[in-house]
Structure 1
Amino acid sequence: MKSVALLDYGSGNLHSAKRALDRVGADVEVTSDPKAALAADGLVVPGVGAFAACMEGLLGVKGDRIIDQRLAGGRPVLGICVGMQIMFEKGVEFGVEADGCGEWPGTVERLPAAVLPHMGWNTVRAPEKSVLFDGIEADTRFYFVHSYATQRWEMDVSDTLPAPLLTWAEHGGDFLAAVENGALSATQFHPEKSGDAGAALLKNWVDSL
């Protein structure tokens, strides 16, 4: 059984995320302890609310260092919703810019949509060879609730490194719905709220640990 640390930094849907990970056979510990978070086979970084508030909570438990150390050793990390957004360099909400973890270049910005938040079920466009979406039908819907997202991929890809796998969705324009980049993966939607589809995705991730 794979061990998964669910990072508790005061901003996340911890109960639902733990239940969803339990469902797919992971041995889940909700923790803010760096040693436990570093030792687990996988680390999940959830997040709900505002970008700046999530970063403040993450820094409070040294979560940025935990993520950095895990990725430096090739140890898997999965970000969910704002837990995905804070992996980027910065977020801009209501004209206020906040620094993110900087694992990926890019900015999280307000979606250019007439109706916000983007709330409900939506399809995604996953790439071939995706681990997260392996075996999941192309017309499968996942549950979103957000008004901000990263709308461009800005990382330069070296010819000597595997290209990141980018999954896109649309609400007023294209935005990144998921990223798979080495040990770091993330989803803008909530797999823990996405029923059987979300369970299939989480199982794919847990099985890859």
Structure 2
Amino acid sequence: MTKIAIIDYGMGNLRSVQKGFEKVGFEAVVTADPQVVLAAEKVVLPGVGAFRDCMRNLEQGGFVEPLLQVIRSGRPFLGICVGMQLLFTDSVEFGLYRGLDVIPGHVLRFPEGMHEGGEALKVPHMGWNQLAIKRRPPAFAEVADGANVYFVHSYYARPDDERVVAATATYGIEFCAAVWQDNIVATQFHPEKSQAVGLSILKKFGEMK
């Protein structure tokens, strides 16, 4: 059985995620086969690009039902960047598009005209930013409050229930940087680009049962 399956639906930074797991001692398989995903012990959903395109590719690749089955089964599931956003009810990116609706809530665009310290803030939010830990999922066991991680995004998720928020960051506004619900942990930032902090998240996720 595949230990860790990384879903290849044409919309993720797949090799760098795979290399991140390899660096911390875990074999991860990049797969475009929904049956491999369905049989995996742990599943990772990365995502780069527009929400609507990611959702369309998931549907066309036959991944939606296997993904939902994995999540319902209680197996560890990691969403990264748009892979986190897809867990929500819908997104306003390029219209209004439905997501997987595993976590009730909405994906919104950063507001126009944000400022910080008198400086206008550009969207997308790109670069290093500090996490404020709200709840600590097992995958965050070694992540310090205030740790720096790497973001690239113009949209952010807003859960209906704030209790699922694991961490926030601030860029003009305070936004949800990570969620934790049962067996699901998902990050708006990129662990695979976040050096030692990110690698610790991949390692602890790999150790989850």
Q: Same fold (TM over 0.5)?
A: yes
Q: Percent identity?
A: 41
State the Cα distance separating 1:155 from its structure 2 match. 3.4
**What secondary structure is seen at the aligned counterpart in 2 of 1:199?**
helix
2:123 to 109, 112, 116: 116
Q: Could you tell me how far apart the structure 2 residues matched to 1:187 and 1:84 are?
A: 6
Structure 1 unpaired stretches of 5+: 157-162
User: 1:43 is matched with which residue?
Assistant: 43
Runs of 4+ aligned residues of structure 1 deviating over 3 Å after TM superposition are: none
Is 1:62 equivalent to 2:68 in the alignment?
no
1:148-172 Cα distance to aligned partner (Å, 9 max, x none)? 001x32139xxxxxx6352111111
State the Cα distance separating 1:128 from its structure 2 match. 4.4
State the Cα distance separating 1:7 from its structure 2 match. 0.2
Query: Does the Cα contact within 8 Å between 1:93 and 1:109 map onto a contact in 2?
Result: yes
2:161 to 151, 155, 158: 155
TM-score (norm 2): 0.90
User: 1:100 is matched with which residue?
Assistant: 99
Query: Does the Cα contact within 8 Å between 2:137 and 2:185 map onto a contact in 1?
Result: no
State the Cα distance separating 1:132 from its structure 2 match. 2.2
What is the aligned-residue RMSD (CA, Å)?
Answer: 1.7
Flag the 1:47–1:129 CA change in 2: closer, same or farther, 3 A. Answer: closer
Q: Could you tell me how far apart the structure 2 residues matched to 1:130 and 1:65 are?
A: 25
Query: Does the Cα contact within 8 Å between 2:52 and 2:97 map onto a contact in 1?
Result: yes
1:114-142 Cα distance to aligned partner (Å, 9 max, x none)? 31110000011113443222122222100
Query: Does the Cα contact within 8 Å between 2:80 and 2:189 map onto a contact in 1?
Result: yes
Count of equivalent residues: 201
Residue type matched to 1:169 in 2? A
Query: Does the Cα contact within 8 Å between 2:106 and 2:159 map onto a contact in 1?
Result: no
User: 2:118 is matched with which residue?
Assistant: none
1:90-120 Cα distance to aligned partner (Å, 9 max, x none)? 00024x1111011011110101243111000
